[in-house]
Chain A
Amino acid sequence: MQFFLEVLIGGLLSGVLYSLVALGFVLIFKASGVFNFAQGAMVFFAALTFVGFTEVLPGWTGLEAGGTAVFWLAFVLALASMVVLGIATEKIVLRPLVNQPPITLFMATIGLTYLVEGIAQGIWGANVRGLDLGIEDVPIEYMLEQHNILISTFDLFAALLAGLLVGSLALFFQYTKVGRALRAVADDHQAALSIGIPLQHIWAIVWGVAGFVALVAGLIWGARNGVQFALTFTALKALPVLILGGFTSVPGAIVGGLIIGASEKLAEVYVGPFVGGGIESWFPYVLALLFLLVRPEGLFGERHIDRV
Chain B
Amino acid sequence: MEIKKTVMLGALVTGTLAAGVAMAAEQFIGLPSYRVGAYAAGGSGIFGGWIDYMNLINERDGGVGGVKLVYEECETEYNNARGVECYERMKNKGETGNSMFSPLSTGITYSVLDKVPDDKIPLVTIGYGRTDAADGRVFPWVFPLITTYWSQATTMIKYIESKEGELKGKKIVLLYHDSAYGKEPHAVLDKMAAAKGFEVTKIAVAHPGNEQQSQWLQIRQIRPDWVILWGWGVMNPTALKAAAKTGFSRAKMLGVWWSGAEEDTIPAGSAAKGFTAAGFNVAGAEYPVIKDIKKHVYGKDKGNMEDESRVGSVYYNRGVVHGIIAVEAIRKAQEKFGQGKALTGEQVRWGYENLDIDDKRLAELGAAGFMPALKTSCMDHEGSGKVKYQTWDGAKWKVVTDWIDADKQLVRGMIEESAAKYAQEKGITPRDCSKEM
Q: What residues make up the interface of A, taking CB atoms closer than 8 Å to B?
A: 3, 6-7, 10-11, 14, 117-118, 121-132, 137-139, 150, 152, 154, 221, 224-230, 232-234, 237, 264-265, 268-269, 272, 276-282
A150 to B217, CA, bound (A): 9
Counting CB contacts under 8 A, is B207 at the interface? yes
Choice from B35, B206, B221 contacting A126 with Cβ under 8 Å? B35
A127 to B42, CA, bound (A): 9
Asked if A121 contacts B213 (CB within 8 A), the reply is no
Asked if B241 contacts A224 (CB within 8 A), the reply is yes
Interface flags for B10-50 (1: CB within 8 Å of A; 0: not) read 00000000000000000000000001111111011000000
Tell me, rounded to whole Å, the shortest Cβ–Cβ distance linking A123 to chain B. 7
A308 to B149, CA, bound (A): 63
Counting CB contacts under 8 A, is B238 at the interface? yes
Choice from B206, B218, B234, B263 contacting A279 with Cβ under 8 Å? B206
Residues of A within 8 A of B205 (CB): 278
Q: Which of B249-303 contact A (CB under 8 A)?
A: 263, 266-269, 271
Asked if B40 contacts A281 (CB within 8 A), the reply is no
Chain A CB count within 10 A is highest, among B204, B207, B263, B271, for B204
Asked if B210 contacts A230 (CB within 8 A), the reply is yes
Counting CB contacts under 8 A, is B247 at the interface? yes
Chain B CB count within 10 A is highest, among A6, A132, A226, A280, for A226
A228 to B39, CA, bound (A): 9
Counting CB contacts under 8 A, is B208 at the interface? yes
Counting CB contacts under 8 A, is B220 at the interface? yes
Asked if A121 contacts B1 (CB within 8 A), the reply is yes
Q: A127-B41, A128-B41, A128-B266 are in contact. Are A7 and B241 (CB under 8 A)?
A: no
7 smallest beta-carbon distances between A and B, as pairs: A226-B267, A278-B204, A126-B40, A278-B178, A281-B206, A230-B234, A277-B204
Chain B CB count within 10 A is highest, among A117, A139, A268, for A268
Asked if B217 contacts A277 (CB within 8 A), the reply is no
Tell me, rounded to whole Å, the shortest Cβ–Cβ distance linking B219 to chain A. 11
Counting CB contacts under 8 A, is B59 at the interface? no
What residue in chain B is nearest A236 (Cβ atoms)?
B208
Asked if B271 contacts A137 (CB within 8 A), the reply is yes
Q: Which of B316-370 contact A (CB under 8 A)?
A: none
Q: A127-B41, A265-B213, A265-B214 are in contact. Are A225 and B204 (CB under 8 A)?
A: no
What residue in chain B is nearest A269 (Cβ atoms)?
B214
A52 to B35, CA, bound (A): 18
Tell me, rounded to whole Å, the shortest Cβ–Cβ distance linking B245 to chain A. 5
Asked if B206 contacts A125 (CB within 8 A), the reply is no
Residues of B within 8 A of A268 (CB): 214-215
A157 to B238, CA, bound (A): 18
Chain A CB count within 10 A is highest, among B204, B245, B269, for B245
Report the count of interface residues on B (CB-CB < 8 A): 46
Counting CB contacts under 8 A, is B2 at the interface? yes
Q: A230-B208, A269-B218 are in contact. Are A225 and B213 (CB under 8 A)?
A: no
Residues of B within 8 A of A132 (CB): 269
Choice from B40, B208, B263, B307 contacting A233 with Cβ under 8 Å? B208
Counting CB contacts under 8 A, is B112 at the interface? no
Tell me, rounded to whole Å, the shortest Cβ–Cβ distance linking B353 to chain A. 35
What residue in chain B is nearest A123 (Cβ atoms)?
B1
Asked if B307 contacts A225 (CB within 8 A), the reply is no
Residues of A within 8 A of B220 (CB): 150
Residues of A within 8 A of B44 (CB): 126
Q: Give the secondary structure class of A's interface.
A: helix
Choice from B38, B203, B263, B306 contacting A125 with Cβ under 8 Å? B306
Asked if A128 contacts B267 (CB within 8 A), the reply is yes
Counting CB contacts under 8 A, is B122 at the interface? no
Q: A128-B263, A224-B241, A230-B208 are in contact. Are A10 and B233 (CB under 8 A)?
A: no
Residues of B within 8 A of A281 (CB): 178, 206-207
Asked if B217 contacts A137 (CB within 8 A), the reply is no
Residues of B within 8 A of A277 (CB): 178, 202-204
Chain A CB count within 10 A is highest, among B1, B221, B247, B310, for B1
Residues of A within 8 A of B40 (CB): 121, 126, 229
A272 to B246, CA, bound (A): 20
A142 to B35, CA, bound (A): 46
What residue in chain B is nearest A125 (Cβ atoms)?
B1
Q: List 23 A-B contacts (CB under 8 A).
A: A3-B221, A117-B36, A126-B40, A126-B43, A129-B267, A130-B237, A130-B266, A130-B268, A130-B269, A137-B241, A138-B244, A139-B246, A154-B245, A224-B210, A228-B41, A265-B214, A268-B214, A269-B218, A272-B204, A277-B178, A278-B206, A279-B206, A281-B178
Asked if B210 contacts A233 (CB within 8 A), the reply is yes
Counting CB contacts under 8 A, is B211 at the interface? yes
Tell me, rounded to whole Å, the shortest Cβ–Cβ distance linking A51 to chain B. 10
Given A3-B217, A268-B215, output 8 extra A-B contacts at Cβ < 8 Å: A118-B36, A126-B35, A130-B237, A150-B217, A225-B238, A228-B263, A230-B208, A233-B208
Chain A CB count within 10 A is highest, among B36, B40, B214, B238, for B214
A119 to B306, CA, bound (A): 17
Asked if A125 contacts B266 (CB within 8 A), the reply is no
Q: A126-B36, A126-B44, A225-B238 are in contact. Are A280 and B214 (CB under 8 A)?
A: yes
Tell me, rounded to whole Å, the shortest Cβ–Cβ distance linking A111 to chain B. 16
Asked if B271 contacts A127 (CB within 8 A), the reply is no
Residues of A within 8 A of B203 (CB): 277
A39 to B391, CA, bound (A): 37
Choice from A10, A122, A229 contacting B213 with Cβ under 8 Å? A10
Choice from B36, B37, B210 contacting A221 with Cβ under 8 Å? B210
Q: Which of B193-235 contact A (CB under 8 A)?
A: 202-208, 210-211, 213-215, 217-218, 220-221, 233-234
Tell me, rounded to whole Å, the shortest Cβ–Cβ distance linking A22 to chain B. 15
Q: A152-B245, A277-B203, A280-B206 are in contact. Are A228 and B267 (CB under 8 A)?
A: yes
Residues of A within 8 A of B247 (CB): 139, 150
Q: A118-B36, A125-B306 are in contact. Are A137 and B211 (CB under 8 A)?
A: no
Residues of A within 8 A of B246 (CB): 139, 150
